[in-house]
A and B are shown apart, each in its own frame.
Chain A
Amino acid sequence: MLTYLWLIPLAPLAGFLLVGGLGMAGRLREPWVQRLAVAASAASFVLAVAAIVDFAGGLDDERALAAAQPDRYEVSAAGEPARFEITPLRWMPIGDVTLRGWDGQGVRRAAFGVNWTFALDTLTAVMLLVVTGIGTLIHIYSIGYMAGEQGQHRFFAYLNLFMAMMLTLVLAGNLAVLFVGWEGVGLCSYLLIGYYYRQVFDKESGLTCADAGRKAFITNRIGDFGFLLGMLLLLLSFGTWDFSELAAAINGSSAYWYGSVLLTGIGVLLFFGATGKSAQVPLYVWLPDAMAGPTPVSALIHAATMVTAGVYMLARMSALYWHSPGAMFVVAVVGCLTAVLAATMGMAQYDIKKVLAYSTVSQLGYMMLGAGVGAFVAAIFHLVTHAFFKACLFLGSGSVIARCGHTNDMRLYGGLKRWMPTTYWTFLVSTLAIAGLFPLSGFMSKDEILARTLFSFRGSAVLWLFGTLAAVMTSFYMFRAVYMTFHGENRSPDHVREHLRESPPVMTGVLVVLAIGAAGVGLLGVPEGVSRLVGLGNVNWFEHVLHPVVAARGVVAGSAEAHGGEHGAAPAGEAGHGEHAAAQAGASHGEAAPPGGYLVEGMHHPSVAAEAGLFVLAFVVFLTGFLLARWAYGGPEPRAEALAPRLAYLRRLLHRKWFVDELYDRLVIRPYYAVADFFAAVDQRIVDGAVNLSAATAELSGQVLKLFGTGIVRHYALWFMAGAVLIAWMMMR
């Protein structure tokens, strides 16, 4: 099955071509549009599961295959983390034509040509399941959500294309293929945000959905500029874009690369791309506006999958980031800042999707924070749990929006619990999960990130403090949304209230599945500290599976003894980590450091009391947010309204999102236009003039030379002789 890995993205691509092509030609009726699109997505899910089952079964058959066809297949050696690679297509390779690269030891030449490589390891497997699983659920939900819309084939075709691109992104075996997916999902995001391209989505500014799509696309383009620079620098430095070769090159000369300016530069540039795609400070501004798209799109692309591509990319490039503490520090700070800033903005929004959008930005900030402090596994785990509860929240909000006359304004909701019980309960479960109630999934992943932030050698107490603060706010704004939407008196216009009812089963069914996931998926990765508190030892299955892929490797040996003392605090912790160490077959994990004395990976192991304290604190955080929201919005007469005049300034600040849009307008957009005007003038006067001049020169010299072509053979013979004399002179002078 593994050899057919490339079918996984191909299935939705075929769906896109079929649905889009036949739909455009008008040959496909509505139910078949939906069936085909869902089938294509489901097919990729089935293929992904089959491939992963095969993968989990061992790579012995594949090793034989790879030995027979080494240029087509590659399988990691026995001691390495399991990894299977297939190259179904070579793109424009040319013989021995090579690129020159420099890898720290000297010039090396790598073959030109980009291989269309797909690779599968546990990290990709997790992403595959999330993308195809949740993607398929959202496809199904869309059947109900889009019911009665005209021209659905466009929507479903784009959705399928998105799946194909996202799967290309996560299956990519090298940066070039990843970039194809990276740009592809950006394109689909643009197309789907602007799906209702004529509709005005923001009444204040009069911007249309098409404008929102453009904002997303252009903002991402700025990030991608950095990403491309990083990619090119990487190619220049290492001569390869292949992930396994890159990791081997970096890990192979660990001492050389550790802390190098070059790697830090590349890491920061790549991360700049991630700030665009994953909506981090300073490029997060497009995501709230991306809510102009249909709600299933918000759930799939702008919550569960695409926006997490940046986090996935960081984990994929973990070898590079481990060797660059500077780049990781940048990632952690930006992530933490994003988490706090977005949470504050989320507290003052009235648009339910904007609340969820800022919440997404904030949660993505947590993931970045996790990646930045070296907790790559926890970051990916938060990605997974977030995919469940945020998809459920978005789809729940979609269910509400569809029934409340397509308004997003929470001030026009209220008391919906009565009419929409399934939506309410699933929304509540997901809210509890994101707010971090033990033992729901959000607690498991967020707590793990925060604990790592506090205890990891790359983390810090300040980052932890701000992260915890953001968690309080998370709990507050989510319960605020719950109270405003589902509790209290209904504030809808009468004509809407008369038709209020629960959404069809095709939608609520998906909500239930996602809510179960939001509640239960956390059990896959119970944080070590928590499981030790309840006396289970380390049952963090997720960490066990994923850690080998993102572990710091190839670190200079000989420092394990030097730093052994710092680990002595918690013997139980050592035992827990011992398991991993065995699984990694000698790879260094937490015990090794380069000569500079910095630890590459590892953490201070807290005492049991500290862990218990954290556990309790997490509950207090949850409770604080909840009680605040209940106090402010829970009563029949929301106290928030009464408070409003006194906090008017703060409220305005938060509601207008710290005036960041205005700031960008002054700082970036207007200067940009000024510069653009200047260059336009330069272009029209000087550059065009130069171009026209050279064109005219060429044309004129052509006209002059044409005069020599008289058509008379005697003249030709004369020029022939002139040339012959010239050549004879050159040869014999």
Chain B
Amino acid sequence: MPEFQHFAALPTLVPAAFGLVFLVFAPFIGSDKKWMWAFTTAAMGLTILIPAIILSKIGLYGDVLETAGVAGQYMVRTDRLALWLDILFGIAGLLALLVTPAYLERANSHRPEIYPLFLIAVSGMTAMVGSDHLVMIFVGLEVLSITLYVMCGLARERAVQVEAALKYFLLGAFSTSFLVFGLALILGATGRLDIPGIAGAVLGVGAGTLWNETLLLAGLALFLIAFAFKVGAVPFHFWVPDVYQGAPTPVTAFMAAGTKAAAFGVLLRVLYAGFSGAETIVDRWAPVIAGLAVATMVVGNVLALVQTRVKRLLAYSSVAHAGYLLLALVPATSGAHAGEIVGGPALLFYLFTYTFMTVGAFIVAALFQSDREDADHFAQFAGLWHRRPLLAAAMGVFLLSLTGIPPLGGFTGKYVIFLSVLDAGHPVLAAIMAIAAVIGAAYYLRVLMLMFIAQPEEDLAARLVTPGPARLALAVAVVATFVLGIAPFVLYDPLLTVMRAAAF
């Protein structure tokens, strides 16, 4: 049994503390929003730094830090999986924060409260992935969700945002009820809510010591439904386009990358560590994941084809990418790793590349924000190359990467997932993924063609200014997209060690 290592909770405590303090002080320095922004950005930097430091030293503590609990049941579990994802949340938050002031100015909505909310949302995410107790995961999820509801609807005077927030809230509450009920059933079936305990009970399936398998499966089904909603898998995806479209664009970017990563982190941990012990159980949930993945990839890509607005297109593309990510969760059917999720490192790698390219694309979309209703309509992007070549080039990199063109990160990400699916023994799923990706190419390339070939309809150059912080964010995203494509080993090699420590 490890010692109580309280600093294991630091990745959660730091953003939570800063977020709360800033939120409390927001009314007092509210008029001076630059200060608020600067403080928040610095705190977000710290939020990246702390897990990075712990990660570099984690070998000293036997790969796992645990705290807040008794008798072998800990609420906080900080391992490589949690720390890498913590870094990712920080990056997503930081990139989104960098473009937020420019967006708010353009949208004419001055609400500095939004900055500390980013920090609180990050603390929710870190709590979710930094725990192996389902109650803690639930608490983290709620912290995250409630913060996001608020962030989506912060501009009360804009009907579209309020509508988005309300839809998100209603459907979110709906899915939360599934989650809570699922937890209750799991508790009823196993008597435990911590993942090691559940894993022990699942192992008992073969031995006949688990007294009610049906109850456990029902609980797991409800749990999967709730998380399928969170990642936006078909048919639980209907909120995604409406909310992504309505929410402030930096928040959309943050949600698309961060929320997805947190939900997938939990899914990976719970399924890999909790429910992989018994073959009969795996045989039940594996087809569900595979089916969700196929439906999500195909429907997401097909629906993205018929969109005419960039934010909505990116929303459906985010649905499609959730499909690829789900695919990495399908466990192997045969070989040495039968019943195990071999795509773990690929999934994490893809989350990183996805963060950079999709946040980058949303940042570009955010710069188009204006009071006009059709601010992100395709027509606005026509001929961007002739007006703002650098911006068009950056957007081109993100779109090509989302398509999966080498040597960009999106290609490498798809490639490792593809290989892991093949390794897991699912050639049909791999083929479907390839077909879905081809459909995906059509709509990304359509936007690219518009930007580079079409002539601008009207001269919008005057209001397309890219402020310094947004430029920095775009530069970071572009460079990272290239680095992950050309030298993927800088990230993939360390990620290979993640799964080792995530198991129990």
Give chain A's interface residues, CB within 8 Å of chain B: 90-97, 695, 698-699, 701-703, 705-706, 708-709, 711, 713, 715-717, 719-720, 722-724, 727-728, 730-732
CB nearest to B306 among chain A residues: A702
In the bound complex, residues from chain B placing their C-beta under 8 Å from that of A722 are: 235
Binary contact readout B441-456 vs A (1 if CB under 8 angstroms, 0 otherwise): 0100000000000000
In the bound complex, residues from chain B placing their C-beta under 8 Å from that of A732 are: 214, 217-218, 221, 284
- Chain B interface, >50% SS class: helix
A719-B235, A730-B287, A731-B217 given; A724·B489 CB < 8 A: no
Residue from A93, A695, A703, A715 within 8 A of B489 (CB atoms) = A93
Instruction: Apart from A701-B302, A705-B303, A727-B288, list 18 A-B contacts with CB within 8 A.
Output: A90-B487, A93-B489, A94-B415, A94-B488, A698-B305, A703-B306, A705-B299, A713-B166, A713-B171, A717-B170, A720-B174, A720-B229, A722-B235, A723-B228, A727-B221, A730-B221, A730-B284, A731-B218
Give chain B's interface residues, CB within 8 Å of chain A: 166-167, 170-171, 174-175, 178, 214, 217-218, 220-222, 224-225, 228-229, 234-236, 238-239, 241-242, 284-285, 287-288, 291-292, 299, 302-306, 345, 406-407, 412, 415-416, 419, 439, 442, 485-489, 492-493, 495-496
Alpha-carbon distance between A390 and B486 when the two chains are bound, in angstroms: 43
Are the C-beta atoms of A723 and B235 separated by less than 8 Å?
A: yes
Most buried by B among A703, A706, A724: A724
In order of increasing CB-CB distance, the 9 nearest A-B pairs are A702-B306, A723-B235, A731-B221, A716-B238, A95-B492, A702-B305, A702-B302, A728-B221, A724-B225
Say how far A727's CB is from chain B's closest CB, in angstroms: 5
CB nearest to B167 among chain A residues: A713
* 8 residue pairs A–B, Cβ–Cβ below 8 Å: A92-B407, A95-B416, A698-B305, A720-B238, A722-B235, A730-B287, A732-B221, A732-B284
Residue from B178, B224, B345 within 8 A of A95 (CB atoms) = B345
In the bound complex, residues from chain A placing their C-beta under 8 Å from that of B166 are: 713
Are the C-beta atoms of B238 and A719 separated by less than 8 Å?
A: yes
In the bound complex, residues from chain A placing their C-beta under 8 Å from that of B306 are: 699, 702-703, 706
Say how far A687's CB is from chain B's closest CB, in angstroms: 15
In the bound complex, residues from chain A placing their C-beta under 8 Å from that of B495 are: 95
Residue from A92, A716, A723 within 8 A of B488 (CB atoms) = A92
CB nearest to B494 among chain A residues: A95
CB nearest to B406 among chain A residues: A92
Say how far A356's CB is from chain B's closest CB, in angstroms: 43
CB nearest to A91 among chain B residues: B486
Say how far B79's CB is from chain A's closest CB, in angstroms: 19
Alpha-carbon distance between A723 and B174 when the two chains are bound, in angstroms: 13
CB nearest to A705 among chain B residues: B303
CB nearest to B241 among chain A residues: A709
Say how far A688's CB is from chain B's closest CB, in angstroms: 15
Say how far A115's CB is from chain B's closest CB, in angstroms: 12
Residue from B224, B241, B419 within 8 A of A727 (CB atoms) = B224
Alpha-carbon distance between A720 and B177 when the two chains are bound, in angstroms: 13
Are the C-beta atoms of B236 and A706 separated by less than 8 Å?
A: no
A706-B303, A720-B229 given; A731·B171 CB < 8 A: no
Alpha-carbon distance between A701 and B178 when the two chains are bound, in angstroms: 30
Say how far A459's CB is from chain B's closest CB, in angstroms: 47
Are the C-beta atoms of B486 and A92 separated by less than 8 Å?
A: yes
Residue from A90, A701, A706, A716 within 8 A of B171 (CB atoms) = A716
Say how far A97's CB is from chain B's closest CB, in angstroms: 5
CB nearest to B345 among chain A residues: A95
Say how far B482's CB is from chain A's closest CB, in angstroms: 12
Say how far B403's CB is from chain A's closest CB, in angstroms: 15
Alpha-carbon distance between A438 and B228 when the two chains are bound, in angstroms: 85
Residue from A705, A713, A717 within 8 A of B302 (CB atoms) = A705
Say how far A684's CB is from chain B's closest CB, in angstroms: 20
Alpha-carbon distance between A713 and B288 when the two chains are bound, in angstroms: 25
A719-B238, A731-B217 given; A96·B496 CB < 8 A: yes
Are the C-beta atoms of A695 and B442 separated by less than 8 Å?
A: yes
Say how far A474's CB is from chain B's closest CB, in angstroms: 49
CB nearest to A93 among chain B residues: B489
In the bound complex, residues from chain B placing their C-beta under 8 Å from that of A695 are: 442
Are the C-beta atoms of A727 and B225 separated by less than 8 Å?
A: yes
Alpha-carbon distance between A698 and B437 when the two chains are bound, in angstroms: 13
In the bound complex, residues from chain A placing their C-beta under 8 Å from that of B305 are: 698-699, 702
In the bound complex, residues from chain B placing their C-beta under 8 Å from that of A709 are: 238, 241-242, 303
Alpha-carbon distance between A702 and B313 when the two chains are bound, in angstroms: 12
Say how far B415's CB is from chain A's closest CB, in angstroms: 7
